[in-house]
Amino acid sequence: MDTTSLTGKELAAALRADTEQRAAALTAQGTAPRLVLVVANDDPASGWYVKSLQRAAAKLGITCDTTDLGADSTADAIRAELEKLSSDPAVDAVMLQTPLPPGVGLNDVSSAIAAGKDVDGVSPLSLGLLASGLPSFPPATAEAVVELAKHHGIPLAGRHVAVVGRSNVVGKPLAQLLLAENATVTVCHSRTTDLPAVTSAADIVVAAVGRAGLISGEHVREGAVVIDVGTNEGPDGGIVGDVDAASVAGKAGALSPVPGGVGPVTTALLMRHVVQAAETARTA
């Protein structure tokens, strides 16, 4: 069987073009959309991601500033900064970078981000709004899975989707987004008994655990769609997904590549969220 590659390049390009146009319109009206990244770590991977977001924003006409609180910052200091930015009318969007300092959990501080500026959908309020079917910004990675499927003409309504992973940033919000598309969703996790039996019964398998090669050919039925959200460091230092692509290729009907699948769509959607937040703020 030929396995179709679910690349995200074309979709990401279309999203960026739309976002750039909308950002230019806002700038022409007075000020460019503004995103502030709050950092409280000295993690190299986080630093690389911040720089990649800054580059992506600059290309689209979005102002992107960084507030570095230091790796020894406290939960109180982080919350205070998030609250200050949330109440600042000159700031359209706020993102808190992880990891956080030792002893500080995301749930301890994320609720300080106003829902209208929580463009990465990490606060309990944003997640609650999403679960209730009310307007909110979903986590961009979870949204990217749904948008990538739609872009490639993969129907979701009535399909059985197995989501492997139950994190608050991908698995749980993705389940809510899929339910909104009328899919039947099974969320799998580390306590799931006989994972291959569950996933191989699904029409679509989404791997979002953070374990390289976890999903192999035995986890996938003939002709199923497999979307790989994983980004893990491979043996050669490159990026590999949660799916063992070699064993899935030729069995799955479609497979998203890593890199080049969900990743570019995630960044493009995040930038679109910034512009959407700015548009809403300008008309409030």
Instruction: Please indicate, yes or no, whether residues 42 and 152 belong to a single structural domain of this protein.
Output: no
Task: Check residue 98 and give its pLDDT.
Answer: 92
Instruction: Please indicate, yes or no, whether residues 82 and 148 belong to a single structural domain of this protein.
Output: no
Task: Check residue 233 and give its pLDDT.
Answer: 86
Q: Give the pTM.
A: 0.96
Instruction: Please indicate, yes or no, whether residues 146 and 110 belong to a single structural domain of this protein.
Output: no
Cα separation, 178 vs 159, in Å, equals 10
Where residue 107 sits, what CATH number does that domain have?
3.40.50.10860
Identify the CA nearest to 39 among candidates 99, 121, 124. 99
Task: Check residue 56 and give its pLDDT.
Answer: 97
Task: Quote the domain boundaries for residue 165.
Answer: 140-263
Give per-10-residue mean pLDDT for the chain (284 aa).
Answer: 96 98 97 97 91 97 98 97 98 96 94 97 96 96 98 98 96 98 97 97 97 97 98 87 97 97 97 98 88
Whether 282 is in a domain gets the answer no
Whether 154 is in a domain gets the answer yes
Instruction: Please indicate, yes or no, whether residues 38 and 110 belong to a single structural domain of this protein.
Output: yes
Whose tokens are 């129907």? That residue is: 155
Whether 283 is in a domain gets the answer no
Whether 95 is in a domain gets the answer yes
Instruction: Please indicate, yes or no, whether residues 96 and 176 belong to a single structural domain of this protein.
Output: no
Q: Find how far residue 255's CA is from the centre of its chain.
A: 18
Q: What's the total number of domains in the chain?
A: 2
Whether 48 is in a domain gets the answer yes
Whether 231 is in a domain gets the answer yes
Task: Check residue 235 and give its pLDDT.
Answer: 86
Residue 167, annotated ligand binder?
Answer: yes
Residue 166, annotated ligand binder?
Answer: yes
The H or E element that residue 199 is part of is helix 195-199
Instruction: Please indicate, yes or no, whether residues 156 and 252 belong to a single structural domain of this protein.
Output: yes
Instruction: Please indicate, yes or no, whether residues 198 and 236 belong to a single structural domain of this protein.
Output: yes
Give strand pairing partners of 226.
205, 255
* Surface-to-core class of residue 221, CB atoms within 10 Å of its CB (0-12 exposed, 13-18 middle, 19+ buried): middle
How many Cα atoms sit within 13 Å of 16 on the Cβ side? 19
Residue 192, annotated ligand binder?
Answer: no
Where residue 187 sits, what CATH number does that domain have?
3.40.50.720
- Other C-beta atoms closer than 10 Å to the C-beta of 263 total 21
| DSSP calls for 174-196 | HHHHHHHTT-EEEEE-TT-SSHH
Give strand pairing partners of 34.
63
Cα separation, 92 vs 75, in Å, equals 23
Three-state secondary structure call for residue 118? coil
| DSSP calls for 145-178 | HHHHHHHTT---TT-EEEEE---TTTHHHHHHHH
State the DSSP code for 2. P
